[in-house]
């Protein structure tokens, strides 16, 4: 008996780095050996390219321009049409949002093909552009056999998904435990970081420096705390200069820039508190939050209605959640954890347990197979 065929449609794919791209690869890896698979996505240059990743053919369509982070490709429509006709997929997994590609999908998908929409997040930031895709979203949801959401919070908070709850299935994102494993080099780095911060409370924040990540509010909270607290912020982005200006001469705040895996795991191991100050639904789940909690340390987050952040971090169980953008309350939460090592330990242990029971690749694979079969 021949294997069923699955076509994955993603914006980009490995080695391109991004949350959606990582989940697309997790999907492919979870179905390996059980389905025949292909992936179609954009290339990060103007040329079309086909290569093999983990034994799966990846068709990459050249991009000549982008509009509001959405790629524009001359070849994408033709390649999707040809691929659906030649590969004849039994199942298509479409990673949303990807509105310009959605029109080609809707135009070419046969009625006999099962459509699984992996709904990563609503189009929120592009307030004008999103209005052009209202009819398309209705058609997508109507055509979908199943819609995957990353948390029940997002289903309830999405104006689109809450109207289609009967089609929604929650498949929480998963962390890559293998990538997070410690090594002697990591332990040496962690020991060095602790030695540099003897007697201090090490607070770590990880992520791209963009507005919705809320690092500005973390920095404002840091200003309200004394020198026992040391804040380390990784990454860079369009907000980096503004964040450094906000930090000013505050010596408690350290910008690490882009770090390699050893340095990142060193700080994750050495930290006392994981700071995750995202402020909008653009943070649909918080994979970096789950990774931080895996290291057995408490997290401090803002309340984000409709986001999975408050599904990952449970208030007063795995960490502390405070009202959105409330700088003083965020500082108070850090102060409370900083002064109570037993609370840090109990919340940290609860956080690690929550990740191990809900957000590992084993659970992800089982959940996805239930949806696909």
143-to-88, 102, 136, 327 alpha-carbon distances in Å: 18, 11, 10, 44
Q: Which of 20, 23, 24 lies closest to 7 in space, CA to CA?
A: 24
Tokens at 8, concatenated:
């994955």
Same fold, 5-171 and 177-357: yes
Could you report the per-residue pLDDT of 14-42, keeping only the tens digit for each? 998 778 898 999 999 999 999 999 999 99
Instruction: Give this prediction's pTM.
Output: 0.85
Q: Whole-angstrom Cα distance, residue 278 to residue 274? A: 12
Q: Whole-angstrom Cα distance, residue 19 to residue 362? A: 19
Tokens 């093909």, residue located: 113
Spatial neighbors of 33 by CB under 8 A, at least 6 apart, are none
Q: Whole-angstrom Cα distance, residue 123 to residue 332? A: 33
Longest dimension (CA), the chain: 68
Answer whether 311's CB lies under 8 Å from 153's CB.
yes
279-to-80, 111, 151, 301 alpha-carbon distances in Å: 36, 40, 17, 9
Q: Whole-angstrom Cα distance, residue 41 to residue 22? A: 13
Question: What CATH number labels 5-171?
Answer: 3.40.50.2000
Q: How far, in whole angstroms, is CA 331 from its chain's centroid? A: 25
Q: Which of 136, 41, 135 lies closest to 95 in space, CA to CA?
A: 41
Could you report the per-residue pLDDT of 233-245, keeping only the tens digit for each? 999 999 999 999 9
Domain ranges for the chain, please list them: 5-171, 177-357
Tokens 């289609």, residue located: 164
Would you state the torsion angle of the CA atoms of residues 44, 49, 53, 56, taken in this order, to the nearest 10 degrees?
Answer: 130
The terminus-to-terminus CA distance of the chain in angstroms comes to 15
Tokens at 187, concatenated:
């332990």
Tokens at 234, concatenated:
């990784």
> Residue 3 CB: number of other CB atoms within 10 A?
12
Q: Which of 113, 94, 91 lies closest to 103 in space, CA to CA?
A: 94
| 177-357 homologous superfamily | Glycogen Phosphorylase B; (3.40.50.2000)
pLDDT tens digits for the chain (373 residues)? 679 999 999 999 999 877 889 899 999 999 999 999 999 999 989 999 999 999 999 999 999 887 766 778 999 999 999 999 999 999 999 999 998 899 999 999 999 999 999 999 887 655 555 566 789 999 999 999 999 999 999 999 998 999 999 999 999 999 988 889 999 999 999 999 999 999 999 999 999 999 999 999 999 999 999 999 999 999 999 999 999 999 999 999 999 999 999 999 999 999 999 999 999 998 999 999 999 999 999 999 999 998 999 999 999 999 999 999 999 999 999 999 999 999 999 999 999 999 999 999 999 999 999 999 8
The helix-helix angle for 184-196 and 261-270 (nearest 10°) equals: 50
């Amino acid at each position: 008996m021949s294997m069923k065929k699955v076509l994955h449609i993603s914006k980009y794919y490995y080695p391109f780095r991004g949350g959606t791209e990582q989940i697309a690869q997790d999907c492919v890896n979870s179905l390996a050996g059980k389905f025949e698979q292909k992936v179609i996505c954009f290339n990060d240059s103007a040329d079309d390219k086909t290569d093999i990743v983990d034994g799966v053919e990846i068709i990459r369509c050249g991009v000549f321009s982008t509009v509001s982070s959405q790629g524009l490709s001359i070849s994408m429509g033709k390649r999707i049409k040809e691929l659906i006709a030649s590969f004849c997929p039994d199942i298509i997994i479409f990673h949303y949002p990807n509105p310009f590609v959605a029109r080609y999908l809707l135009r070419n998908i046969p009625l006999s093909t099962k459509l699984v929409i992996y709904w990563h997040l609503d189009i929120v930031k592009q307030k004008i552009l999103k209005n052009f895709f209202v009819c398309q979203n209705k058609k997508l949801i109507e055509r979908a056999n199943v819609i995957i959401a990353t948390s029940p919070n997002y289903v309830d908070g999405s104006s689109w998904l809450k109207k289609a709850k009967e089609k929604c299935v929650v498949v929480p994102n998963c962390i890559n435990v293998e990538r997070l494993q410690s090594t002697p080099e990591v332990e040496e780095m962690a020991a060095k970081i602790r030695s540099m911060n003897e007697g201090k409370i090490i607070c770590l924040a990880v992520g791209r420096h963009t507005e919705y990540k809320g690092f500005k509010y973390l920095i404002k909270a840091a200003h309200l705390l004394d020198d026992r607290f040391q804040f380390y912020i990784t990454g860079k982005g369009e907000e980096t200069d503004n964040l450094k200006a906000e930090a000013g001469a505050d010596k408690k705040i350290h910008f690490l820039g882009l770090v390699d895996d050893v340095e990142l795991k060193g700080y994750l191991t050495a930290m006392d508190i994981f700071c995750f100050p995202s402020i909008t639904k653009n943070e649909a789940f918080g994979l970096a939050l789950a990774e931080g909690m895996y290291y057995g340390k408490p997290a401090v987050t803002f309340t984000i209605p409709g986001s999975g952040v408050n599904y990952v971090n449970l208030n007063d169980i795995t960490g502390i959640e405070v009202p959105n953008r409330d700088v003083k309350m965020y500082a108070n939460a850090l102060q409370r954890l900083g002064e109570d090592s037993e609370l840090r330990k109990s919340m940290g242990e609860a956080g690690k347990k929550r990740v191990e029971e809900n957000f590992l690749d084993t659970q992800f694979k089982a959940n996805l197979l239930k949806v696909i079969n």
